[in-house]
Amino acid sequence: NAGVMQNPRHLVRRRGQEARLRCSPMKGHSHVYWYRQLPEEGLKFMVYLQKENIIDESGMPKERFSAEFPKEGPSILRIQQVVRGDSAAYFCASSPGQGLANEKLFFGSGTQLSVL
């Protein structure tokens, strides 16, 4: 039973390019979360998605960042026109989405984005 899979593990982009980060949740999980970890800091919530719906994006920067979780395929976090300040580790987590008050979140290994 594979865990949460993220790819690529490392991504290098030049300023102004686009970055696409992919996350495949655990089998049977329908809820996906994205978190960002800046150097020397804890993880910060970005967005919460269910299949084909963005439920809460209160942690997403207002510009250049978008996320989707299509009916088929992985969740994608997209960063347009990257800047050096976007350099960070981006973690994806998933949960079963059974409506329980205290479902566990399972984290992937993260994608380390480096902007040159």
Partner 1 sequence: GIQVEQSPPDLILQEGANSTLRCNFSDSVNNLQWFHQNPWGQLINLFYIPSGTKQNGRLSATTVATERYSLLYISSSQTTDSGVYFCAVVMILTGGGNKLTFGTGTQLKVEL
Minimum Å distance from CB 26 to partner 1? 13
Among 2, 42, 62, 85, binds partner 1 (CB under 8 A): 42
Among residues 12, 20, 41, 73, the one that binds partner 1 under rule CB under 8 A = 41
| DSSP per-residue letters across the chain | ----EEE-SEEEE-TT--EEEEEEPPTT--EEEEEEE-TTS-EEEEEEEETTEEEE-TTS-SSSEEEE--SSS-EEEEE-S--GGG-EEEEEEEE-----TTPPPEE---EEEEE-
The correct pick among 60, 95, 113, 115 for binding partner 1 (CB under 8 A) is 95
Asked if 96 interacts with partner 1 (CB under 8 A), we say no
Residues in contact with partner 1 by the rule CB under 8 A: 31, 33, 35, 41-45, 48, 50, 55-56, 89, 91, 95, 97, 99, 101-107, 109-110, 112
